[in-house]
Amino acid sequence: MTRLFASREALLAGVIALLLVLIAFRFPGFVTPANLASVFNDTAPLIILALAQMIVILTRCIDLSVAANLALTGMVAAMLNGMGVPLALILCGVVMLGAAMGAVNGLLVWKLDIPPIVVTLGTMTIYRGIIFLISDGKWINAHQMSDGFKALPRIAFLGLPMMSWIAIAITLGFAVLVGRTALGRSFFAVGGNPHAAVYTGINVGRTQFAAFVIAGAMAGLTGYLWVARYAVAYVDIAGGFELDVVAACVIGGVSIAGGMGSVGGAVLGALFLGIMKNALPVVGISPFWQLAISGAAIIIAVAFNARQGRAPGRIILKEAA
């Protein structure tokens, strides 16, 4: 039992369950199956991007351009739809475009040895600027999108919209990637000790590059899902969402220092934030308190991560009595 509660995932799952119980006392309708399914669907983009960010952070990097990538690929998807391009080609195109933008980040980090936070802050701004250039600052609204383009994320199957099923499928895919493949083990090795990883034959730069490419591809897919779900595309779409993505990872136990994290933790971190954002307005808590509570949760999570990651030392000098 002690080992169970020592697990970060079990602890976070318990916190989420307690949060739902407390919300149910105030607003019982929130915890109905239909509403919880809706909350999960709302959180699906955050889950996908949190998983993408997780593998980048595992390699001692960070990608602050994921939301800008999402916005640019979403705008491109909407524009291609307006040109009559088939949906299958749009999906392939935005995933490839997202991967290419991730590759730009990865190459700059790998080949030029620029700190990831600097690279992705720069590309975040560039990608937002490109959206303005290609759209001329204009919005693309629902009436400018085809019904088929908007339908895919909303198609219901076994009580859940397709966007939720896509998030579930990606979660399973990342579980296999991280837990069952050599590349997944390389992410942990590079983040845990990059110097030791080199001696085991792992190319640190190439591994980080792969993480950025995968994250970019996921951002590209999420760009289409976001725009199709909300039926709007504009320059500032998902503004600030990269902070939610990083917060979901941190709350889920992914160490900013790299080398530590799990798929389950990232998903639970995203669900925690999703429930908070959906529940607090319902129970009448001010938006200012919502920000404060979210910020406090992040600080507590970072402190918890630091405490867990601190190796116990051995006293070698002791003051004489």
What confidence tens digit (pLDDT) does each residue in 55-114 have? 999 999 999 999 999 999 999 999 999 898 999 999 999 999 999 999 999 999 999 999
**pLDDT for the residue numbered 290:** 67
Helices 204-230 and 162-180, packing angle to 10 deg: 170
In a domain, 261, yes or no: no
**pLDDT for the residue numbered 31:** 86
User: Could you count the other beta carbons within 10 Å of the beta carbon of residue 284?
Assistant: 8
**pLDDT for the residue numbered 212:** 97
Residue-number span of the structural domain to which 121 is assigned = 45-239
300 pLDDT higher than 70 = yes
218 pLDDT higher than 80 = yes
**pLDDT for the residue numbered 310:** 55
**Bigger pLDDT: 53 or 11?**
53
Segment 44-51 shows an average pLDDT of 96
Segment 16-27 shows an average pLDDT of 87
- pLDDT bin (cut points 50, 70, 90) of residue 123 is very high
Q: Any idea which of 235-249, 262-276, 288-302 has the lowest mean pLDDT?
A: 288-302
**Bigger pLDDT: 317 or 282?**
282
Question: CA–CA separation, 206 vs 190, rounded Å?
Answer: 10
285 pLDDT higher than 50 = yes
Segment 284-290 shows an average pLDDT of 70
Segment 22-34 shows an average pLDDT of 86
In a domain, 184, yes or no: yes
- pLDDT bin (cut points 50, 70, 90) of residue 1 is very low
316 pLDDT higher than 60 = no
**Dihedral sign of CA atoms 54, 59, 62, 68 in order:** negative
What is the bridge-based pairing of β-strands 156-157 and 160-161?
A: antiparallel
In a domain, 40, yes or no: no
**pLDDT for the residue numbered 321:** 44
- pLDDT bin (cut points 50, 70, 90) of residue 25 is confident
**pLDDT for the residue numbered 315:** 43
**pLDDT for the residue numbered 282:** 76
Question: CA–CA separation, 263 vs 277, rounded Å?
Answer: 21
In a domain, 8, yes or no: no
**Residue at token pair 């475009």:** 97
243 pLDDT higher than 70 = yes
**CA dist list (Å): 301 to 23, 272, 295:** 21, 12, 10
Helices 116-135 and 87-111, packing angle to 10 deg: 140
Structural domains of the chain, count:
1
In a domain, 99, yes or no: yes
Question: CA–CA separation, 40 vs 164, rounded Å?
Answer: 7
The model's pLDDT over 145-188, given as tens digits with 9 standing for 90+, comes to 999 999 999 998 888 999 999 999 999 999 999 999 999 999 99
**pLDDT for the residue numbered 298:** 75
In a domain, 191, yes or no: yes
In a domain, 307, yes or no: no
**pLDDT for the residue numbered 5:** 40
Using a 10 angstrom Cβ sphere, with 0-12 exposed, 13-18 middle and 19 or more buried, the burial of residue 30 is middle
**pLDDT for the residue numbered 3:** 47
**pLDDT for the residue numbered 309:** 58
In a domain, 282, yes or no: no
Residue 242, C-beta contacts closer than 8 angstroms, at least 6 positions apart = 63, 64, 65, 66, 67, 68, 124
